[in-house]
Every structure is written in structure tokens, then in C-alpha cells.
Chains A and B, each alone.
Chain A
Amino acid sequence: MLALIIRRLAQSVLVMLFVALIAFVMFRYVGDPIASMVGVETRIAEQEIMRDRLGLNDPVFMQFLRFIGNAVQGQFGISYRLQQPVSELIMSRLPATIELAFASATIALIGGVALGVFTALRQGSFATGAIMAASLVGVSLPTFLIGIALIYIFAVELGWLPSFGRGQVVELGWWRTGLLTESGLRSIILPAITLSLFQLTLIMRLVRAEMLEVMRTEYIRFARARGLSDKAINFGHALRNTLVPVITITGLQLGSVIAFAIVTETVFQWPGVGSLFITSVQVVDVPVMAAYLMFIAFVFVVINLIVDILYFAVDPRLRVDGGAAGK
């Protein structure tokens, strides 16, 4: 198992290097950094001096190495727009995004598994039909539409929940959380639901399909033939066998929830990394975009690593011989 983790780590480093290359190319070649820093009346000679000082005349390879070296230390340069270090900017926005992502992933996971199991066990009932039909809506409606609809119903018409922002936040060291105040909790409900709806229906359909598959297997029949209770069979024997694909999808979805919270964050004016990215794109703030790219890649790599380790916890067949047997 250790060997596998090390192998995966090595692969992760490769992936990160590749993404760094893309980020670097973008950083270096999308527009001229000097042109965006200087005014119209700066002389060419002065520009050349700046170019030299910033190391832009060094060989590309050297520049890339320097970029990596800085990135490893968390240095992504200064934002063109806000004139602050990019790493600071991202760190200040990160807690909002992570709290939103985890809140919605929790909703999606609990709701998705529960509904998936329910619809698999109650095949053909009216409730199942209704849930399955509703889930189609969840899959096919775009996120922003759901967000706007929720704002209209719960914020505008009913006035129960706030329609934008994070509410009041509390500082815990550098982490600014909205989960400890009432207004913060009320604020997270709508965006979290909006963001979770797609994942929820996805997980639900996946769990249901897997459950139906597992319920047909011989070992479930054999478990029945031994007189085990329905509860032991459904939740002990069947559900655990559906978990491997569910973990995969949930992991990847958590990654995309963090990465693509952009739309939801925009709709709800959520002060997270996603909305930072959107505003940066609008003004071609390349350092922020490059750093965001690296950050998202990092999130995916870490989540994939965790997913791989979780497989081992769930499926004993993978544990033999450092995982070679399962491949």
C-alpha cells in the first residue's frame, strides 16, 4: 500500500509540473507583462531595463525553473489589478470557497446516498417515480437558473434567507469562517443547495444504479438465504459494495465543486476564489489566473490521492501485494 501511495505521489508531482508549465506559458506569453505594467510614455530603453530586472530576458528554461521555485514557496507574483501578493489574495478568499464546497458536498453526499438507497429499495413506488423525475430536472437545469430561482422564492418572495454575501464572519487565526454566526449560516444555505443540486442528483442516480446491480448478486441472495435481516442486508452488505464508485465520483465532484463554484459564487456574490477568478479574467490579471490554475490542479491531485487511499479502506481485495492484485 505504501508503495502505491509513493507511486501516486510521484504521478501527482508530474501532473503538477505539467500544469505549472501551462500556467507559466500563460503567465509569460499571454500579453506582455511589461506592457501591462507601464504607461504609454515609458521609453523603450526603460522598458528593456525593467525586462532585464524582472528576468524576462533569461532563457525560457531558467524562467520556468524560477517560476516553479516561487510557486513551491507560494509566490505567484503581484496581482496587476489589486497590487497585492497573489498568494495573500487567494488565501483570504479560500475559506469562503472551501466552506461553501464542503457544505454543498455534505448535502450532496448525505442526500444523494439516502435518496439513492431509498429509490433502489422502493422500486416502482410512487415516491420513487417522483424523485427520479425531479432528479432529471436537477441534472438538466443550469446552476445559475436554480440559483436565481431559489433567490426569487426564498429571498425575494418569502424573505426567509439572504440572497447574497456571506453574512457575518468570525476570525479564527487566518481562517475567516461564516459557520459560527447565525447570519453566516443563513447565508450559506441557498448557495450550498444550489451548488449541491447537480452533485446530489448525480450521486443519487449512481447509488441507485449500483444498489440495483448489487441487489442482484449471488452474495446478496446467499445473505437472504441465511436469514439475515433486511437492514443487515441493505445497509451492511449491499451499501458498502456500492461505495467504491460513489467515492470516486464524490471525490471528483468535490474537486469540481471547488473549481467551478464560479457560477454559484457569482450569482450569490459569494466572496470566494471563484468570484476572484472571474474579476481577474475581466481585467486580464494573469498572475491571479495562473495561480488559480495551479491551485485547482492541486485540489484535484490531493482529492484523487485521498480517493485512492479510501479505496483501500473500503475494498480489501486491493490491499493484497501493494495493490497489484486489484489492477
Chain B
Amino acid sequence: MTEPLLSVRGLTVEFPTRRGVLTAVNNVSFDIMPGEVLGVVGESGAGKSMTGSAIIGLIERPGRIAAGEIRLQGERIDGISPSAMRTVRGRRIGMIFQDPLTSLNPLYRISDQIVETIRTHLPISLAEARRRAIGLLDDVGIPDAERRIDDYPHQFSGGMRQRVVIALALCAEPDLVIADEPTTALDVSVQAQIIDVMKRICADRGAAIMLITHDMGVIAETANRVAVLYAGRVVEIGPVRDVIKDARHPYSVGLMGAIPKLGGDAERLTQIPGSMPRLSAIPQGCAFNPRCERVFDRCRVERPEPIAVAPQREVACWLYDEPRSDGRAHA
């Protein structure tokens, strides 16, 4: 087995506040293989974006990584010096943000922003960097790139701007791209195109993707593996097909039930009752226990850690703890 490109172990991100410490990401572990697309899915506030920010070292104060380690190609990148981190950002890990309308500096031409980024990381001439930038814009599907490169961000539509953002994230040829809800702010009709562009351009360059989204449909089409996050923890991780067809954690079961199926019967989509707890009020034991249909006593007391249930699959749920202590079903 090859060495993972990115390896996250026991990552914990905390926010000290006046009313105690909030744990936004709690003991999260996962690997990303070279060239792989890992989907990270969960509700708002589940810690998806925070995990991405932690990897690239951009957690906003007063948040901090309280425990765990992050390794990129075997080398630790958490807690390294700001100047060392700058050689990781953009160069080895690219990042795509949610809103293309606000990701680009409105006062600079697209060409300036791309060329500046390329020349920060690669020792090439201005003319060469510009040639590359045009090639890249062409690649992400901006028509007439040679002319449009000198336009300002406001002269592009939302979808086009997100293509520019993708070009910017990839311009120094990183090995990993963290895409934080890259299509959430876009029209539905454009979303699929952007995902296609991103997937193709990363595949061409052999870059892995960590795709953060709350849209299971996007994950199903794009990712190789998926990690389901709930209240700052990984509750289930495994290959996308397996997780979609045969979700194990009751929360993932609910999530998958919420994907509409084409051509299926017109039955109602399932809904998970209640909402995710606030970070300041995470229940004891399993964080999902108040909403779980299959909750039993142990869930309310003891916190489950990820348990391997099949090759490449882990589920953090006492239902799968051996010897199997089958809980009584409420419903």
C-alpha cells in the first residue's frame, strides 16, 4: 500500500470562549491517498470547514489546534513556522473557497492575481508565468482566456469566477486541493460544470481533492471515499458506493435517506428529527444519541470511537461493537 498523501490523526480544534472551551473538531482522523477524492460531508457546524482550515493552517483566532497531528507526505505541517507554512499553502495544498464572488480581490486584474501567486512559489519569469496563467484559464474553461485574463473579477459571472478561483488554487501545481463547498454559492445549473472542471483538472495533474460539502449528490458523483462528520467527529468513513448503499451509522443512514432518487417510488424523503447540538451543549456519550432511533443505554454514557466494520470502513457507533450488543429499536 502506498503512503498516504495527507494523514490526519486525532485532530482537535478548540475555541476558548468566556463560557468555556468549545471543541469544533474532536479527535478526527483520516487519510487521503495521492490522486484520491475524499468527500467530507455533514451539516453546517459539523466541523467540515474547520478541519480544512486546520490542515492549511488558517484557523482564525482564538481557535487553535489543541491535539493531534497533520502530516503531508509524512512530514508534519501543523504547528510549523509561518514562513514554512507559506511554502505549503498554495504550493503543496491549494484551497478553493465557497463564495467566488468574495474570494477574488476586486481591485486587481485576474492576471495580476494568478501571476503573483505563480511567482510566489515558482522561480519563473513574468512572461512565462503569464503564459502559464493563460493556459490554466483555458484549461478551466474560460473562453478567450488570452483576452479575458486582463479583466477584473467583477467582469466575470459567478461560475466563471469560480473557474478563476480553481485556476488560482491550482496554479502552483499543489498535490492536494481542499475545496470548501465550492459550488454552494452557485446556480444549480453551473454546479455540475464546476465540479467537472475541478475533477478533471485535478485528475490531469494528479492532485488529490478533499471535497467539503453538505451535498451528498456531489459526493456521490465525485468522491472515491467519504467521511461523514457530526458535531466535530467522524461518525463514518468508507468508500462512497458502500456508504451510500449500505450506511451503517444511524446518522449516515438518515443522510443517505435524504438523497432523492431518480426513477424511484415517490415515497417521502426521510428526515432526521431534531437538529445538531450546539458546540456548547454536546450531550454526553455519543453526540447523536438524542436524535438516534436506535439509541440504547451505553450511547448516553460512553463515547464511541471509530470501529472497523469492513475493509476500509469505520463507524463510530456502539451498534457495531463486538460482541454485538444489539440495542432495542425504538421505532
Contacts and interface: CB of A to CB of B under 8 A. Distances in A.
Interface of A: 217-219, 221-230, 232, 236-237, 240-241, 314-317, 320, 325
Contacts of B169: 225-226
Q: Which of A218, A219, A225, A237 neighbours the largest number of chain B CB atoms within 10 Å of its CB?
A: A225
A226 B90 contact: yes
B123 to A, nearest CB: 14
Nearest to B83: A229
Q: Which of B87, B91, B95 neighbours the largest number of chain A CB atoms within 10 Å of its CB?
A: B95
Interface stretch (B100-108, B231-239, B258-266): B100-108
Contacts of A217: 102
B86 interface: yes
A314 B108 CA distance: 10
Contacts of B155: 320
Nearest to B101: A218
Nearest to B91: A227
B107 A316 contact: yes
B185 to A, nearest CB: 11
Interface residues on B, range: 20 to 34
A221 B165 CA distance: 13
Interface in B195-239: none
Contact of A226 (B99, B106, B168): B168
B97 A229 contact: no
B107 A221 contact: no
A222 B154 contact: no
Contacts of A221: 58, 97
A236 B117 CA distance: 13
A218 B89 contact: no
B107 A227 contact: no
B148 interface: no
7 contacts: A221-B58, A222-B168, A223-B105, A225-B97, A227-B90, A237-B105, A316-B109
A227 B165 CA distance: 14
A249 B299 CA distance: 61
B152 interface: yes
A121 B199 CA distance: 38
A222 B86 contact: no
A241 B120 contact: no
Q: Which of B88, B116, B169 neighbours the largest number of chain A CB atoms within 10 Å of its CB?
A: B116
B106 A218 contact: no
Chain A contact surface mostly? helix
A62 B154 CA distance: 52
Nearest to B99: A218
Interface string B171-210: 0100000000000000000000000000000000000000
Interface string B136-157: 0000000000000000101100
B103 A227 contact: no
Given A219-B104, A240-B107, A316-B154, A228 B99 contact: no
Interface in B288-324: none
B206 to A, nearest CB: 20
Contact of B90 (A225, A237, A316, A325): A225
B107 A222 contact: no
A22 to B, nearest CB: 40
B132 interface: no
B11 interface: no
B121 interface: yes
B56 interface: yes
A232 to B, nearest CB: 7
Given A219-B102, A226-B90, A232-B120, 17 more contacts: A218-B97, A218-B103, A219-B105, A219-B106, A222-B168, A224-B58, A225-B58, A225-B89, A225-B94, A226-B89, A226-B94, A226-B169, A227-B88, A227-B91, A227-B120, A232-B116, A316-B154
Nearest to A241: B107
A160 to B, nearest CB: 43
A225 B86 contact: no
Closest 7 CB pairs of A and B: A227-B90, A227-B89, A225-B95, A226-B90, A218-B102, A316-B152, A219-B105
Contact of B106 (A229, A316, A320): A316
Contacts of A219: 102-106
Contacts of B89: 224-227
Nearest to A216: B60
Contacts of A236: 116
A225 B94 CA distance: 7
A319 to B, nearest CB: 8
A304 to B, nearest CB: 22
Given A221-B97, A222-B165, A228 B104 contact: no
Contacts of A241: 105-107
A316 B90 CA distance: 26
A240 B152 CA distance: 15
A219 B117 CA distance: 13
